[in-house]
Amino acid sequence: MSRTPLRGAGTALLTPFEAGGRVDEKALRSFVEWQVSQGIHFVVPCGSTGEAATLAPEEHRRVVEITVEQVAGRVPVVAGAGSNDTRRAIELSRAMKEAGATHLLHVAPMYNKPPQRGIIAHFRAIADAVDLPIVIYNVPARTAINMEPATTLELAADERFVAVKEASGNLAQIGDIIRNAPPTFAVLSGDDALTVAVMALGGDGVISVTSNATPRSVAELVERCDRGDLSAARRVDERLSAWTTAAFVESNPIPAKAALAMMGKMQNQLRLPLVPLAERHEPALRDALLAAGALE
């Protein structure tokens, strides 16, 4: 497998649900089409933002199938397939390939807390089993374990791993990876608030939560960083700053789902144990969307 570049702004897609709890396929198609038409560079269905933890296997596959159908080859589709059970991760990865995904997103195993060599063995077992380029995902706040730079760099030397979504929040760690990774291995910010900083260090883009509501602006921010126009990128970042803060006032994806409901893109339906945004946060969220240009 030759390494496929993955750069730019990718949206960690929300999954729309109907009031009865079923996946809202019509809203999903419309939402994916809007994302692509707004200039987002790739889409990431069925990650944590997409409530993958509460999707049944057949729902997970259907969400990716719909996303692939609607994208129609215009941008990459990086399907979440993570699990803390390596066998289950392999099974899900095979299903994602059959559904038409172009890449896989695999989070470091949560809850088990394997040593670093266990993380490497987990990812390599998946790569051995499924012939798709893999984006590895480091998010210690959710997994309770940090992928150390040496671990990421060992995987980066294998062309089957094409990128890392780095959500450690540790700029020194991210900078270490950027400096020492192969030039064809992308380092993507996993924190919207740090995208400009990561790209200023030489990073390649972001897998974004906030682009669910502001895809054009997040794509513009990344494009300006990529051209080296950091002053213009900072202006975009400032315009988005209130929304970037509001998007995480409660656990992701609670605020983002509320925002998209305000915008009329989907219903404000989540699956337990997630619950709708607390009412006290709604005025600030609406103001933030107005400031970002997502509401009129």
Q: Residues 202-238: pLDDT tens digits?
A: 999 999 999 999 999 999 999 999 999 999 999 999 9
Q: Residues 46-70: pLDDT tens digits?
A: 999 999 999 999 999 999 999 999 9
Gap between the terminal Cα atoms of the chain = 46
- Residues in Cβ contact with 41 at an 8 Å cutoff, skipping those fewer than 6 apart: 7, 8, 9, 10, 75, 76, 205, 219, 222
Q: What are the CA-CA distances from residue 195 to residues 112, 189, 256 (Å)?
A: 29, 6, 18
Q: 26, 165, 257, 265: which one is catalytic? A: 165
Write the single-letter amino acid at 235.
R
Q: What are the CA-CA distances from residue 189 to residues 24, 86, 100, 152 (Å)?
A: 29, 25, 25, 14
The dihedral built from the CA positions of residue 32, 33, 34 and 36, taken in this order, carries a sign that is positive
Q: How long is the chain?
A: 296
Q: Is 137 a catalytic residue?
A: yes
List of domains in the chain: 8-227 (3.20.20.70)
Q: What is residue 296's predicted lDDT score, i.e. its pLDDT?
A: 83
Q: Which tokens in the block code for residue 251?
A: 């656990």
> What are φ and ψ of residue 105, in 5° steps?
-110, 125
Q: What is residue 3's predicted lDDT score, i.e. its pLDDT?
A: 62
Q: 26, 113, 137, 265: which one is catalytic? A: 137
Q: Which tokens in the block code for residue 283?
A: 């005025």
Does residue 276 surpass a pLDDT of 70? yes
Q: Residues 77-123: pLDDT tens digits?
A: 999 999 999 999 999 999 999 999 999 999 999 999 999 999 999 99
Q: In sequence order, what E strands does 181-256 have?
A: 186-189, 205-208
